[in-house]
A and B are shown apart, each in its own frame.
Chain A
Amino acid sequence: MAAALEAKKQGIQRVVLLERDFELGGILPQCIHDGFGLLSYGESMTGSGYAQKYIDEIKKTDIEVFLETMVLEIADDKKIYACNSTNGIIEIQCGAMILAMGCRERTAGQILLHGYRPQGIMTAGSVQRYINIEGYLPGKKAVILGSGDIGLIMARRMALEGIEVKGVYEVMPYPGGLTRNIVQCLQDYDIPLHLSHTVTRVHGKHSMEGVTVAELDGSGNPVGGTEKFIQCDLLVLAVGLIPENELSANAGIELDQKTKGPVLDEDYMTSIPGIFVAGNVSVVFDLVDYVSESGRIAANGAVKYLRGEIPGDLKYRNVNCGNDIGFVVPQRIKYCEGEKNVTFFMRVREPRKKVTLICDDPEHEILNKHYQAVVPPEMLACKARISGMGDITLRVEEGS
Chain B
Amino acid sequence: MKNTYTCIVCPMSCQITVEEEGEDLAVSGYTCKRGRKYAVNEHRSPKRMVTSTVRVENGILRRLPVVSNAEIPKSKMTECLKAVYAAAVSAPVKCGDIVISNICDTGVDIIASRDIDLFPESKKQ
Contact = CB atoms under 8 A, between A and B. Distances in A.
Interface in B82-96: 95
Contacts of A48: 65, 95, 113-114
A372 B49 contact: no
A56 B115 CA distance: 10
B114 A134 contact: no
A263 B97 CA distance: 43
Interface stretch (A178-186, A208-216, A224-232, A330-338): A178-186
A374 B51 contact: no
B26 interface: no
Contacts of B53: 32, 131-132, 135
B52 A32 contact: yes
Interface in B3-32: 5-8, 10-13, 31
A188 B48 contact: yes
B103 to A, nearest CB: 15
A32 B65 contact: yes
- Chain A CB within 10 Å — which of B6, B10, B62, B65 has the most? B65
A179 B6 contact: yes
B110 interface: no
B69 to A, nearest CB: 10
Contacts of B95: 48-49, 52, 56
B62 A135 contact: yes
B104 interface: no
Given A48-B114, A372-B11, A188 B74 contact: yes
Interface residues of B, number: 27
A184 B48 contact: yes
B81 interface: yes
Contacts of A300: none
A183 B81 CA distance: 19
Contacts of A183: 5-6, 8
B11 A135 contact: no
A42 to B, nearest CB: 15
Nearest to B94: A52
A273 B61 CA distance: 41
A126 interface: no
B99 interface: no
Given A131-B53, A373-B11, 10 more contacts: A32-B52, A32-B113, A46-B51, A48-B113, A56-B95, A134-B63, A183-B8, A351-B11, A375-B11, A378-B11
19 contacts: A32-B52, A32-B53, A34-B67, A44-B49, A46-B65, A46-B113, A48-B65, A48-B95, A49-B95, A52-B113, A52-B114, A56-B95, A134-B63, A135-B62, A135-B63, A183-B6, A188-B74, A372-B12, A373-B11
Interface of A: 29, 32-34, 44-46, 48-49, 51-52, 55-56, 131-135, 160, 178-180, 182-184, 187-188, 351, 353, 371-375, 378
